[in-house]
Amino acid sequence: MGLQLKSKNILVTGGSGFLGYFVVEALKQRGCKNIFVPEIQKYDLTQMEAIKKLYKDARPDIVIHLAGRVGGIGANKEKPGEFFYDNLIMGIQMMEEGRLAGVEKFIALGTICCYPKFTKVPFKEEDLWNGYPEETNAPYGLAKKMLLVQSQAYREQYGFNSIFIMPVNLYGPGDNFDPASGHVIPALIKKCIDAVQNKAGEITVWGTGRATREFLYVEDAANGILLAAEKYDKPEPVNLGSGFEISIKGLASLIARLTGFKGKIAWDASKPDGQPRRKLDTSRAYREFGFKAVTGFEEGLKRTIEWYRKHGA
C-alpha cells in the first residue's frame, strides 16, 4: 500500500526551483492539497532560526528536502567553499529540526557527485565509499553525502525515517540556462541556438568531449522521488537514473542537430572534463519502488529546446 501522501502536510524545500517545480506539480496530480514551499526571501535555510520558523509555519508530516546550491563544473570550481558549507549546513539543520519536530518521513536528495571519481560503470550504490569524488565537485558531493550518513545514524539512534535518493544529471524545461552556472545540456542548447541566431560558424565546448554522462528527464525524476516517498523506507541509498550513457561529444552533435546548428564544434581541452564516466545501475529503484524512466532522451531534449525557444531565448 505504502504511504498515502494525499492526506499529509508536505514541506518541499527548493520547491520553486527546477526540480522542485515538477515535484510540486506531481504532488498536486496525486491529489495533495497541503504543500508548503518556502520562499528563499523569507526562509534562509543556512540559518537555524529560519529553519525553526519554517517547521513552526509549515507543520509538516513529510519533508522533501530538495533545496541546495547547485551548478556546473565552472561554478563548483569557483566557489567550492560555498558549495560545501551551504549544502552541508542546510541538510544537517533541516534533518535535525525535522527529527525534533517529529516528522513522519524525511526524503533527502543526494547527487551523482557523491560517487568516487573512478567508480566502476555502471555505478552501484555499494560503490559509494570506494574512493574520493571527482575534484571539481567533491566539496558539493561530499556535503550531500553527509546527508546519507546523518540519515542512517538518525535511523539507528532515533528510529527516524529518513531516505536518501541520488539522481543523475537532470535536464528539462525550466532548467538553468545561465552559461556561468548551468549544466551541460542547457549550456549547449543556449550555445547552439545563439549561434544559429547570430549566424556564427563555430561554438566552443569545455573539455575533450570524451567524458560520458547519463541524464534523467526532470519529470521522471520528480515521479521517482515521490514513488520513493510513498514506498521506500530503508537505510540504503538509491540511484535514480535512466540507465544510459552518452559522450559529451555525442551529446553536442545531437543538440546541434536538434537545434539546427550546422557549424563547427571546437573543444577547449584546457578546461576540465569532470568525472570520466557516469552511468548508474538503476535496478534498486526498480526493485524497491518500481521506478523506471519513461521519457526517451531525444524526446526530452526536444521538449527542453522548445521550452527554451519560447521562454529563454
Please provide residue 268's backbone torsions phi and psi, each rounded to the nearest 5 degrees. -95, 90
Return the C-alpha cell found at 264: 563547427
Active-site entry in 140, 171, 217, 308: 140
Cα distance from N-terminal residue to C-terminal residue, the chain? 45
246-247/212-213 β-pairing = antiparallel
Query: Is 115 among the catalytic positions?
Result: no
SS3 of residue 164 by DSSP: strand
Residue type, 210: R
Are 226 and 66 spatial neighbours (Cβ–Cβ below 8 Å)? no
Dump strand ranges (E) for 158-214.
162-167, 169-171, 202-206, 212-213
Q: How far is CA 266 from the centre of its chain?
A: 28
- CA 177/CA 191 separation, integer angstroms: 10
Residues constituting the chain = 313
The pair phi, psi for residue 154, each rounded to 5°, is: -70, -35
Which residues are known to be catalytic?
A: 140
